[in-house]
Amino acid sequence: MPAGCAPFSQAEYDRRIAKTRAAMAEAGLDAIFVTDPSNQAWLTGYDGWSFYVHQGVILRMEGEPEWWGRSMDALGGQRTCWMAAENIHGYSDHYIQSTVYHPMQDLAEHFTRLGLAGARIGVEMENYYYSAKAHTVLMEELPNATLVDATALVNWQRLVKSQEEIGFIRKAAKISEKVVGVALERAAPGVRKNDLVADIFHAGITGVDDIWGDYPAIVPLTPSGLDATAAHLTWNGDEMREGEATFFELSGCYRRYHAPLCRTVFLGTPSDDMRRAEAAQMEGIEAGLNAARAGNQTRDIFNAFMEVLAKHGIERKGRMGYPIGLSYPPDWGERTASIRGEDETVLQPGMTFHFMPALWMDSWGLETTETILITDSGPAETFCNVERKLFVKP
């Protein structure tokens, strides 16, 4: 691998692999096959838009990880992974979208060469990138192996961030501040939503100073008016209109690390109901940040916010946050802990969350969120520095 291509130090990768192997040992696994591109990148540095075909990382209890994927993408592995070239493997293109062959046949042969034909192998069964067909073929090709569900085994090792990772999130946060600032500045009656999103994309990719922007794992979410009562609508070619609120759910991205940030703008004069909801939301966010302390649980953040809402007579359902960090489409969450009433994950210094206590009401939505860091002592630290309020443009 060319010197300097892997984004982190070797000590950082060694730390990650040691944590993962400890979890593997606890689960009684001889090896894992990791298909989540975020987990692949976290273990090896692999970075490429190739997750639409079968690929993954094999990690055993000894030796370097091995990246396996399409032959043309193995060249990308040699450009981005930290391992020796002999640990980057590519399969032939005749496996791609074939009705006769399947890439898992090649993977099974590779497992056999590694002496794992009868091993306990962990696979990520609840994952966007590991299909039912892939699992079926792998079982057929490795009849003596035991395939064990190891969904999120690696994800949980990512929960507490290193100082190197926190440094990347801080850089992403600077881009987040920029893109949200551009969105708020450009928002006005008559502005076409697609033109506004084009400006957001431009700001995010150009980045800030020498901090270049990567593509975010989620595209800009920018619904207005009644569309803003739904959480995950994107954009269209309509013009922004007076009398409507628009929320911006955005994130800067630096070397695949994210710092999501949401703010809402109202064009005109907001209703008294929206103003009351804003006041409750701001008070609740402060209460949640104060509860986000090392030693507390994720549900304490949720409960602190909900107590404020109850005081103001506002109902809300659903979780209000999740861990973030390194991610690929279609999601920037890590899919482990959640900020919700039943989650008992103990907060530790170095954990990073998107604290997202959004309010989606009958005729409007109000999103004000923060990416937060659990610190050694005291309330959580927010990564971004954008005024926390409903922005009003008369």
Check whether residue 376 and residue 353 sit in a common domain: yes
Q: What is the mean pLDDT of the chain?
A: 97
User: Do 133 and 202 share a structural domain?
Assistant: no
Q: Is residue 2 part of a domain?
A: no
3-state DSSP percent of the chain in helix, strand and coil, to 5:
35, 20, 40
Q: Is residue 61 part of a domain?
A: yes
Instruction: Report the alpha-carbon distance of residue 259 to residue 252 in Å, rounded.
Output: 6
| Number of domains comprising the chain | 2
Whether the per-residue pLDDT at 303 is higher than 50: the answer is: yes
Q: Do residues 167 and 150 share a domain?
A: no
Nearest to 90 by CA among 54, 65, 60: 54
Q: Give the residue numbers spanning the domain of 138.
A: 10-157
Q: Judge if 83 and 35 occupy the same domain.
A: yes
Mean pLDDT within 147-157? 98
Pair 206, 85 in one domain: no
Residue 5's pLDDT band (cuts 50, 70, 90): confident
Same domain, yes or no: 169 and 153: no
Choose one of 134, 157, 180: the last residue of a domain.
157
Residue 202 is predicted with a pLDDT of 98
Of 157, 182, 202, the last residue of a domain is 157
Question: What's 229's DSSP letter?
Answer: G
**pLDDT tens figures, 96-131:** 999 999 999 999 999 999 999 999 999 999 999 999
> Is the residue at 3 inside a domain?
no
Distance between CA 336 and CA 383 in Å, rounded?
Answer: 21
Which residues is 248 bridged to in the sheet?
263
Residues 44, 76: one domain?
A: yes
Report whether pLDDT(1) > 80. Answer: no
Q: What is the pLDDT of residues 231-285, one digit of tens each?
A: 999 999 999 999 999 999 999 999 999 999 999 999 999 999 999 999 999 999 9
Query: Count of CB atoms within 10 A of residue 18's CB?
Result: 10
Domain membership of residue 321 (yes or no) is yes
The CA dihedral of 63, 68, 73, 76, to the nearest 10 degrees, is -10
pLDDT at 2 exceeding the cut of 80: no
pTM for this model (two decimals): 0.97
Query: Which amino acid, 356?
Result: M
- CATH code of the domain in which 39 resides: 3.40.350.10
Which ranges of the chain does DSSP label H, i.e. alpha helix? Answer: 10-27, 37-44, 71-80, 103-113, 132-141, 153-157, 163-186, 193-206, 272-291, 298-311
**Do 141 and 170 share a domain, yes or no?**
no
Same domain, 232 and 350: yes
Both 27 and 169 in one domain: the answer is: no
Cα angle, residue 110 at apex, residues 107 and 111 outer, rounded to 5°? 90
Domain identity same for 137 and 191: no
User: From CA 212, how far away is CA 199, in angstroms rounded?
Assistant: 16
Which residues are CB-contacts of 85 (< 8 A; sequence separation ≥ 6)? 1, 78
Q: Last residue of some domain: 157, 186, 214?
A: 157
Edge to edge, what strands does the sheet with 257-267 contain?
Answer: 244-254, 257-267, 390-393
Q: What b/e string do you get for 268-291 counting C-beta neighbours within 10 Å, with b at 16 or more?
A: eebeeebeebbebbeebbebbbeb
Residues 285 and 376 in one domain: yes
Q: Residue 88 pLDDT > 50, yes or no?
A: yes
Place of tokens 């497992």: 111
Q: Which of 5-9, 10-14, 125-129, 267-271 is least confident?
A: 5-9
